[in-house]
């Protein structure tokens, strides 16, 4: 019987969305095992209780100039991880005339920028057929919300032995998220990082905010799992004005990392132009986050 308050002492023969003590024993034993886990990506980047790595970058690797501009900014702020998605899952099939996924070429730019600035690269794997190319360059593989339960993709990503960011689907229970995570762990890859990126719910503030950051899920996940949990206020709110407060709230609730979208000229971002912070806004968030992290005896890296 688990001592975790969140867990119900039910047999999983009863249908439930909640996590039961039987689940912990039989369905998600690895992801809920109790020893603390940190995920070491390299000497500079460790997701742990004491570090809050910030993953910053544009939505897509639109062009070489953009990715170099962003990398330079990130480096100047003392950050180490650049997100660069050369493959994008888009909600609607129509892509802007100026932009489509840069795929191989985008990965080549990521390769260049990684070596030039000595940065850690995160790239989303949208399909199995892209995994080999992404794996040559990316230091961390991201599996996005729409692929959270694409178990074959998860297994193959796990088999690369690279750290994996697994994003919670905007409609999934924590039970389903942890079930997906267990698929990574049974492959023997323990470099797992879970990400809360907002849920779909009726909105009270503005209808343009597509999702709501589930701050409470971060607290709940911290009871259930000892793997790092990061927060993505950019994709959660879809609205750059909200990103700073949600980033601070995530730090306060105990997140082990953040994803913050940034673009030198957000309104020109080819995808989701309402959500990236410009460089000035990013600098302010990082500086304030550093102070807040210090209050909690943690370090932004």
226 binds, among Mn ion, ligand PEP, none (CB under 5 to 8 A by kind): none
CA distances 260 to 80, 203, 246, Å, are 13, 22, 10
User: 124-163: which residues touch ligand PEP (CB under 6 A)?
Assistant: 124, 144-146
User: Residue 96, Cβ neighbours under 10 Å: how many?
Assistant: 10
Output the CA torsion sign for 156, 88, 230, 177.
Answer: negative
Provide the minimum distance between the beta carbon of 12 and ligand PEP in the complex, in angstroms, as a whole number: 28
- Applying CB under 6 A, which of residues 183, 235, 263, 298 lies at the interface with ligand PEP? 235
* C-alpha to C-alpha distance for 113 and 119, rounded to whole angstroms: 8
Q: Is 167 in the site for ligand PEP (CB under 6 A)?
A: yes
**Contact map string, positions 183 to 222, toward ligand PEP, x by CB under 6 A:** --------------x-------------------------
Q: Is 142 in the site for Mn ion (CB under 5 A)?
A: no
C-alpha of 264 from chain center: 21
Provide the minimum distance between the beta carbon of 235 and ligand PEP in the complex, in angstroms, as a whole number: 4
Please measure the distance between the N-terminal and C-terminal CA atoms of the chain and give it in whole angstroms.
38
Identify the CA nearest to 270 among candidates 49, 142, 94: 94
Taking CB atoms, the residue at the shortest distance from Mn ion is: 59
Taking CB atoms, the residue at the shortest distance from ligand PEP is: 144
Provide the minimum distance between the beta carbon of 146 and ligand PEP in the complex, in angstroms, as a whole number: 6
The number of CA neighbours under 13 Å toward the Cβ of 112 is 15
Q: Is 85 in the site for ligand PEP (CB under 6 A)?
A: yes
User: 30-59: which residues touch ligand PEP (CB under 6 A)?
Assistant: 59
Contacts of 213 (CB under 8 A, 6+ apart): 196, 197, 198, 231, 233, 236, 237, 246, 249, 250
145 binds, among Mn ion, ligand PEP, none (CB under 5 to 8 A by kind): ligand PEP
Kindly tell me which of 24 and 181 has the beta carbon lying closer to ligand PEP. Answer: 181
* C-alpha to C-alpha distance for 56 and 33, rounded to whole angstroms: 30
Helix (H) or strand (E) holding 249: helix 243-253
Kindly tell me which of 32 and 150 has the beta carbon lying closer to ligand PEP. Answer: 150
The number of CA neighbours under 13 Å toward the Cβ of 2 is 24
User: 97-126: which residues touch ligand PEP (CB under 6 A)?
Assistant: 124
Residues, the chain: 301
Binding residues for ligand PEP, how many (CB under 6 A)? 11
**Contact map string, positions 49 to 88, toward Mn ion, x by CB under 5 A:** ----------x-----------------------------
Asked if residues 127 and 101 have their Cβ atoms less than 8 Å apart, the reply is: no
Provide the minimum distance between the beta carbon of 89 and Mn ion in the complex, in angstroms, as a whole number: 8
Kindly tell me which of 59 and 102 has the beta carbon lying closer to Mn ion. Answer: 59
Provide the minimum distance between the beta carbon of 276 and ligand PEP in the complex, in angstroms, as a whole number: 11
Output the CA torsion sign for 45, 150, 232, 101.
Answer: positive
Provide the minimum distance between the beta carbon of 168 and Mn ion in the complex, in angstroms, as a whole number: 15
Task: Summarize as ranges the residues that interact with Mn ion (CB under 5 A).
Answer: 59
Task: Summarize as ranges the residues that interact with ligand PEP (CB under 6 A).
Answer: 59, 85, 89, 124, 144-146, 167, 197, 232, 235
């Amino acid at each position: 019987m688990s001592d975790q308050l969140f867990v119900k002492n039910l047999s999983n023969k009863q249908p439930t969305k909640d996590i039961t003590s039987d689940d912990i024993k039989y369905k998600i034993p690895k992801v809920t095992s109790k020893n603390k886990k940190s995920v070491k990506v390299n000497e500079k980047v460790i997701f742990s209780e004491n570090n809050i790595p910030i993953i910053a970058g544009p939505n897509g690797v639109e062009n070489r100039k953009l990715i170099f501009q962003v990398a330079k900014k990130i480096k100047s702020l003392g950050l180490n991880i650049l997100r660069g998605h050369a493959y994008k899952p888009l909600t609607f099939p129509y892509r802007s005339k100026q932009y489509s996924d840069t795929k191989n070429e985008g990965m080549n730019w990521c390769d260049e920028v990684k070596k030039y600035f000595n940065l850690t690269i995160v790239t989303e794997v949208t399909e199995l057929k892209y995994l080999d190319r992404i794996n040559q360059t990316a230091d961390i593989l991201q599996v996005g919300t729409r692929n959270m339960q694409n178990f074959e993709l998860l297994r193959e990503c796990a088999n690369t032995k690279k750290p994996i960011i697994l994003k919670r689907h905007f409609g999934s229970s924590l039970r389903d998220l942890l079930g997906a995570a267990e698929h990574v762990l049974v492959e023997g890859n323990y470099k797992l990082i879970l990400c809360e990126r907002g849920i779909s719910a009726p909105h009270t503030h503005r209808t343009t905010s597509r999702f709501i950051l589930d701050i409470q899920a971060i607290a709940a996940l911290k009871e259930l799992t000892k793997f790092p949990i990061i927060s993505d206020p950019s994709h959660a709110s879809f609205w750059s004005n909200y990103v700073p407060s949600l980033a601070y709230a995530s730090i306060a609730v105990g997140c082990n990392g953040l994803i913050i979208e940034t673009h030198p000229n957000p309104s020109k971002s080819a995808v989701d132009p309402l959500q990236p912070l410009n460089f000035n806004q990013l600098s302010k968030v990082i500086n304030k986050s550093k102070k807040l992290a210090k209050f909690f005896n943690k370090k932004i890296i």
